[in-house]
Amino acid sequence: MESPAPFTPAPAAALTEPTCLAENLLDFIGNRVTVPEPTAILADFAPTAAITCGGDWAAGVTDHAVSWVEEHRQGNLDAVLAGFALPSEQDGTCFTDQPTPTVVWLVDDRGLGMRPVVPTGRCGEFKWDAITAIGALPLTERIVHQVPVSPEVEARFAQ
């Protein structure tokens, strides 16, 4: 009987320290930190947690800042990985107007992470399976960042 191949974690160079406060995640942060764009999950990447980042836009602007929420979740990620593994089917013949999913980081036991691509259906609609599965995981930490906004951005919230 052959023994299974030893597990080799994804190379650290392919992963990065997860953050919700990167300029390319929230364009008015302005901190000059950028993170890699979403990509396919590496075959040898073994995530143990998920982090989501998203605005609490209903809270509006308070003291010239908006609430940007970072949630850490842990548990069995099988359903999450299955959701991200669904094929994208977009064929460009139609378009769907829809909300954008929250920013997602999958994180390994070393604390390094990557942003997975959310698969889409034929008309470009997001397949929410992975995002829904992340929401079902136990919440281990919730951080609300107060992100200062310019008067121009603040005016957009007042409309």
Per-residue pLDDT reduced to its tens digit, 1-46: 444 444 444 455 579 999 998 888 876 666 677 889 999 998 889 9
Q: Is residue 114 included in any domain, yes or no?
A: yes
The CA distance from 19 to 49, in Å, is: 14
Q: Is residue 157 included in any domain, yes or no?
A: no
Number of Cβ within a 10 Å radius of residue 35:
20
Domain with 16, as residue range(s), is: 12-50+75-139
Q: What is the pTM of this model?
A: 0.85
Q: Is residue 43 included in any domain, yes or no?
A: yes
For residues 89 and 122, the answer to whether their CB atoms sit within 8 Å is: yes
Q: Is residue 85 included in any domain, yes or no?
A: yes
CA of 91: how far to CAs of 23, 84, 144, in Å? 31, 19, 38
Residue type, 87: P
Q: Is residue 59 included in any domain, yes or no?
A: no
